Structure 1
Amino acid sequence: MITKNLCLSLLIGCWLLLFSTSKAQSNNPLDVAFGDPFVLYDEETDAYYMYGTGGVENGFVAYSSKDLKKWEHRGTVYIAQQDKSWGTKDFWAPEVYKRGGKYYLFYSAHWKENPNDELENYRIGIATSTNPTGPFIDLTGRPLFDPGYPIIDGNVYFAEDGRLYLYYSRCCYKNPVQSEIAAWAKQQGMFDEIEESWIYGVELASDFSHVIGEPKLLLRPPVSRDDKQSEWESRSVTSGEVNRRWTEGSYLFKHNNLYYMMYSANHFGGENYAVGYATASHPLGPFEKSATNPILQKNISNGGIVSGTGHNSLLRDKEGKVWCVYHGRTTKTGSQRLVFLDELKILPNGQLIVDGPTVKP
C-alpha cells in the first residue's frame, strides 16, 4: 500500500528530476519571431539579451531573459528615424558587443547613397548605447566602410592580442560565378547563371572607426561538383529553388588554438538553409571546411518538423554551457522564422556537433 508520505516523496523526487533535467534545456522553438538571432549575456544586469531581424519596421527590438527559457519583450532598441541614420530599409542581422561600459550594435541595411539605383545596396553600420535595451544611436551617419559591393552579416572577433576582426558576406547580387554547378544548371535549362555570396574578413580598428588593410576572401561555395561540400551547399540550385548559392551568417570563435568559422549556406527563406564550419590557424585563414558538414540542417526528411535552420551565433551561458543560437521554421508555424537554442559540443578531436534541431515543450 502506498502511503501519503511515499506519494509525497515520489512527487518531490519527480519534481527535482524534472527541474534538474529542464535546467539545461531550452524551450524550442522559443516564442521569439526573429531571424538571424544573437544573444548577449550582460554580467552587470545578470541577464541575457536577444537581438535579431524582425519585430519592427526599419529597426530592431530586443528580448531579455534570466534563464534562456522565458523571454520578455523589451521594445524597440534601434530605429532608423534619427539624425545620423544612413539606412533606408532591410535592417538585418544585428549583433551587440559590450566594450568599455558601452554597447555596440553592428547591423546591415540598405544604404541611402545609391546613385546607380542598385536593388541591393547593403552595407554594415554601427550604433552605440549605454544600455543593452537602447536606444542605440548611429556613430557616424555612414556605413563602417564601402568595399564597392553590397555586404551583410557583420560579425566581430576580439582576439587575445587585442586585435579586432570583422567578418561579413558579400551579397550574391551581381556576382555571377562560373562553376561546374552553374554549368550543370544551365545545361539542365534551370538557370542561365548562378550568383554567389562569399565571406570576407578584415582587421577592424580598436575604436570601430574603420577597417585596416584590404578584405580577404575566406570562404565561398565549391567550384567543382566533386567537392564534398558541393552537394549540401548547392541544394537551393539543384532543387530549382533559386539561381543563387550563399555563404553567409559567419560566426568566429577560438578553441585549443584553432579558429572555427561557422557559416550558413542555401536560401534563408527555404527549407535547405543549413550550417557548416571551417577551421584555420589564423583569424584570416586560410580556412578548411569540415568533412562533417553540415552540422545543422532540416529534419523534415527524417520525420521531424523543423527546416530552414541557419544564421547561427554562439552563447556561453552563466554555467559555462555553449549554445548554438539560430533560427528555423516548423511545419506548425509555417514560414515564420523562430529562434532555437541547442547545445554545441566539441569532441576531443575538435569536431563540432550541434545537438539539434530539437523541439522541446
Structure 2
Amino acid sequence: MRFGVSDTVGKCWDLAMSQLFKHLGFCWWGRLAVLCVLASVGAPCATGQKPGRVIFQDSLSSMDESEWRLWGGELRSVSDSMRLSGKRGPRAMLTGVRVSDFELQVEIKPADSTQAGIVFRVADSQLGVDAYRGYYVGLHAGAHRVMWGASRPGWQALAGGNRTIEGSQWYRLRVRVLGDNVKCCVDEVAVLQKTLPVLDGVDRSFHRGGVGLRVLGSAAQFRNLTIRELVDTSSGKSYSNPVQANCADPVILRHSGIYYAYSTYTPDFPDMVHGIRLHTSEDLVHWEDQGYVLKSKDSWGESRFWAPDIVERDGTFYLYYAADTRICVATSDSPAGPFRQRIQRPMEPDSLRIDAHVFQDTDGQYYIYYVDFNRGNEIWGGRLNEDMMSVDTSTLKPMIASDQSWETHKGRIVEGPEILKHKGLYYLTYSGSHFESPQYAVGYATSSSPLGPWKKYQLNPIMQSTSYAHGTAHHCFTQSPDGSELFIVYHRHHSLTKTEPRQLAIDRAMFVRQKDGPDVLQIHGPTCSPQPTPSHADD
C-alpha cells in the first residue's frame, strides 16, 4: 500500500522508532535522547563512526585561562559555566588543540537574538567577526535556526535547518566531522526528545585546525565540553544521493515487494512530449528504467506530461498526471502499465491544472489535491467521486496559497501537494517557490480535516537547498522495505549550476514529539554523504 493512504505511521510508531534508532544510532544519556549517528553493532552502515580517545573534556564550571586564547570580547566563569560576550563575533580558541576528524559535544545557552556555537578546523585567527579561516556551526536564538558555514575569511553559508531555539535555554549541540562530512544534532537539554540531524553536509575547504567557541550578538554560556577523536569504521551497505538520474516530480507505489517510481522524464525538458516514465526497485536505492509507462499516443494532450500520482483500487491502477497543464487520469490492471485513457480527455473542471495527488482517508473516502493557477500557483482540494475519474465540484475549495517569503522565489508558488495522516492529524506537505530556483523547498501545514482549514508550520521550510544540493523538493513519502522507516523521495537539480535533467533522491523522515502542540515532521536531508540503506526485515 502506498504510504499516506491510511494512518500507518501512528500504527507502526514503536517499531519505526526502534528500527530508526538502530540504524541512526540514537543513544540515551540519562533523560536525554542524543543522536550519535553511529552504526549499531552488526548494522549495515558504511558511514560507521566510532569515538576514540578524549582530546579535551571540561565541565567549564571554572575557567583555566591557560587553556584559552581570546579573540575579542570577554570570557569569564558564571553559574557553573563559561560566558563569552562581545559585539564583534568574539572567539575563544582552545590552546594547543587542533582537530581533523572528531566528535564534539557542548551545552549552550544563548542570550535572546544571539548566535552561539563552535568554530573548528580554524587557521589564521584575527580580531573581527569573520576574521579566520575555518567552519562554524551555531544556534540562532529567536531566529529558530541552526546553521553551518565557512569563513574564508568572509562568510559563506553552507547548510542549515529550522529548529525551535529560544534565548536563555540550554541546548546540547553535537557535531561530528569525518573527512568532508559534517553532521549536527541539537536537543533541548531539559526535554526527552527523539530527533534527526538538523544538517548532514559535505565541504572540502578545510581539513585540520583549531577549535573554539564563538558568539555573535550579545552573549552565551557554555558548559560540559567534550572533544573526542572520530574513527571511520565503515562497513556494510550504504547509498549516496542522487540514486537515479533523469527523474523529476516522483511518486512511489509499493506493490508486491516492488517500488514503482513514476516521474516526469527530464531529458525531454521542456516539451515533455513522450509520456510518463517508470523506474522500479526492490530497495529504494537501485533502480531499473522500465521506459514509458504511459505514452502520449494513449492520452489526451500533446506535451508537458509531468507530475504523476498513482492509486490502486479494487485491482485497477489509476495514474493521474498533467498534460498540456490539464490533469488527466489513465488506467491499467498492472502497476507496470501500459496505462491508457479509455476516453482521451482531461478531468473537469478546467481549474484542475497540474500536480494531482489522491489521498484515501481512513473512512475510505478519496480526496484529490491539485494546483490551480490563481494569483500564482495555489493548492486546491475536494472529494473524488466513486469512479475515481471525476470530482465532486461542490467540495472544491482552496487549501493554501503562497503567502510566506520562502514560497516566492521566481514566482508565488505552492505546489506538489502530498498528504500524510499521523495521530489523527492531516499533514499537507508541499513545495514552495519555482522549481528552477535554488531555493525550491519543502514545507507543510496541518489540519484536523482533510479539506482544511490549514495552519502552516511556523518553522517552514523543513527541507531546503544547501551549498551542495539545489532544488530539493517536489516529493512523496514511502516506507523502507520492512516498513519501519519513513522516507521522503524527491528530485534535485542536476548540479549547482544546471537544473536539467533533474535527479531522484531519498532521505529519512520522522515525526518528532513536542512538549506542546502536534508532532513535528522532520527531514534528514538533503544529504550527499553516504547513508545507511533503507532497512530490511532481515537486517
Normalising TM by the smaller chain, what interval?
Answer: 0.7 to 0.9
1:281 is the counterpart of 2:495:
no
1:160 is the counterpart of 2:160:
no
1:37 is the counterpart of 2:250:
yes
Q: Percent identity, aligned pairs only?
A: 35
Task: String of CA shifts for 1:67-95, please: whole Å, max 9, x gaps.
Answer: 1111011111111113xx21111001011
Deviation at residue 66 of structure 1 after TM alignment:
0.9
Q: Decide whether the 8 Å contact of 1:123 with 1:146 is kept in 2.
A: no
| Unaligned ranges ≥5, structure 1 | 1-12, 111-121, 178-195, 223-229, 237-241
Matches within 5 A, 1:19-34: 26-34=239-247
The residue number in structure 1 matching 2:199 is none
Q: Decide whether the 8 Å contact of 1:124 with 1:152 is kept in 2.
A: yes
The residue number in structure 1 matching 2:389 is 209
2:292 is aligned, of 51, 76, 82, to 76
The residue number in structure 1 matching 2:528 is 359
Displaced runs of 4 or more, over 4 A: 13-17, 19-26
The residue number in structure 1 matching 2:265 is 54
1:342 is the counterpart of 2:511:
no
Range that drifts further, 66-75 or 279-288: 66-75
Deviation at residue 360 of structure 1 after TM alignment:
3.5
Q: Decide whether the 8 Å contact of 1:40 with 1:50 is kept in 2.
A: yes
Deviation at residue 27 of structure 1 after TM alignment:
3.0
Matches within 5 A, 1:97-136: 97-110=311-324, 122-136=325-339
2:380 is aligned, of 156, 181, 200, to 200
Matches of 2:296 and 2:386, distance apart in 1? 25
Matches of 2:253 and 2:331, distance apart in 1? 15
Task: Tell which structure's C-alpha radius of gyration is larger.
Answer: 2
Deviation at residue 19 of structure 1 after TM alignment:
9.8
Deviation at residue 134 of structure 1 after TM alignment:
1.0
Task: String of CA shifts for 1:20-52, please: whole Å, max 9, x gaps.
Answer: 988886431112311101111102xx2111111
Q: Which has the higher strand share?
A: 2
1:316 is the counterpart of 2:497:
no
The residue number in structure 1 matching 2:33 is none
Q: 1:66 to 1:356 in 2, by over 3 A?
A: same
1:293 is aligned, of 450, 460, 470, to 460
Matches of 1:127 and 1:217, distance apart in 2? 25
The residue number in structure 1 matching 2:399 is 218
Which one-letter code corresponds to 1:109 in the other structure? A
2:406 is aligned, of 232, 238, 257, to 232
2:412 is aligned, of 229, 236, 245, to 245
Matches of 2:342 and 2:362, distance apart in 1? 26
TM normalised by structure 1 equals: 0.76
Matches of 1:123 and 1:311, distance apart in 2? 18
Which one-letter code corresponds to 2:301 in the other structure? G
1:143 is the counterpart of 2:306:
no
Q: 1:14 to 1:251 in 2, by over 3 A?
A: closer
The residue number in structure 2 matching 1:94 is 308
Range that drifts further, 326-335 or 64-73: 326-335
Matches of 1:198 and 1:23, distance apart in 2? 44
Task: String of CA shifts for 1:254-306, please: whole Å, max 9, x gaps.
Answer: 00010000011111112111110000000000000001100010111xxxx10
Matches of 2:469 and 2:252, distance apart in 1? 21
Matches of 1:253 and 1:292, distance apart in 2? 18
Which one-letter code corresponds to 1:348 in the other structure? R
1:331 is the counterpart of 2:512:
no
Q: Decide whether the 8 Å contact of 2:327 with 2:352 is kept in 1.
A: no
Q: 1:293 to 1:23 in 2, by over 3 A?
A: farther
Which one-letter code corresponds to 1:255 in the other structure? H
Q: Decide whether the 8 Å contact of 2:443 with 2:463 is kept in 1.
A: yes
- Count of residues in correspondence between the two structures: 293
Task: String of CA shifts for 1:187-226, please: whole Å, max 9, x gaps.
Answer: xxxxxxxxx111100100122132112411110012xxxx
Matches of 1:253 and 1:283, distance apart in 2? 10
TM normalised by structure 2 equals: 0.52
CA RMSD across the alignment? 2.3
Matches of 2:363 and 2:235, distance apart in 1? 38
SS in 2 for 1:125: strand
Which one-letter code corresponds to 1:209 in the other structure? M
Matches of 2:428 and 2:45, distance apart in 1? 36
Q: 1:103 to 1:233 in 2, by over 3 A?
A: same
Query: Which fold has the larger relative contact order, with Cα–Cα distance below 8 Å and residues 6 or more apart in sequence?
Result: 2
Q: Decide whether the 8 Å contact of 1:26 with 1:342 is kept in 2.
A: no
SS in 2 for 1:81: helix
Matches of 2:235 and 2:341, distance apart in 1? 40
Which one-letter code corresponds to 1:88 in the other structure? E
Q: 1:262 to 1:14 in 2, by over 3 A?
A: closer
